[in-house]
Chains A and B, each alone.
Chain A
């Protein structure tokens, strides 16, 4: 089956620093990758949609300058949380999709970010 990995699985950083999270599709080429945020005991909230070679599309209310997304290849997308603050602490999950969402999305294991 399609496997998506994320690195790191958890990270603790100081307020004001930047953190990069990687999302890789291991055995397929992902035309589209998605980044979600999940707060404790809540559902997934889509942050942005990333297509290889083009700029990411951000959801309303998500600051594109704070959450930088790069999708340089068909197997790698990165999310950089810039100048992180404690309120950015959350569980960040990526997913990858082949052409069209009708086949569903394949999810990474998530990255737990804690900002001190």
Chain B
């Protein structure tokens, strides 16, 4: 079975401070990991995926297979980063469907 855990339900940081959202997973195979973001009153949208090794809106995430983690980081949080963030896992063994973590709400204070 595949599982995604986001231990923090809420992260509150000041503007300009670093922010790190934790994500741990369990999966018996080679997973594909994603971060999705949902801004207020907007639909869920893809933020980044591990295979792309890209930085989107200043966010980066590195897949650590040894620790089974895919933490999301940004060195300097901005107020517009306030949103709900979901870590998700997909794997061929599960038919490429996504399993979501519980989500972390990020609040960036001015």
Contacts and interface: CB of A to CB of B under 8 A. Distances in A.
Interface stretch (A11-19, A66-74, A93-101): A93-101
Which among B36, B51, B101 has the greatest number of chain A C-beta atoms within 10 A? B36
Interface of A: 32, 34, 42-46, 49, 57, 93, 95, 97, 100-110
Given A43-B100, A100-B96, A104-B46, 5 more contacts: A42-B103, A93-B43, A102-B49, A102-B51, A105-B98
Contacts of A34: 97-98
Nearest to A32: B96
Contact of B95 (A45, A49, A93, A95): A49
Nearest to A57: B95
Interface of B: 32, 34, 36, 42-46, 49, 51, 86, 90, 95-103
A58 B101 CA distance: 20
Nearest to B46: A104
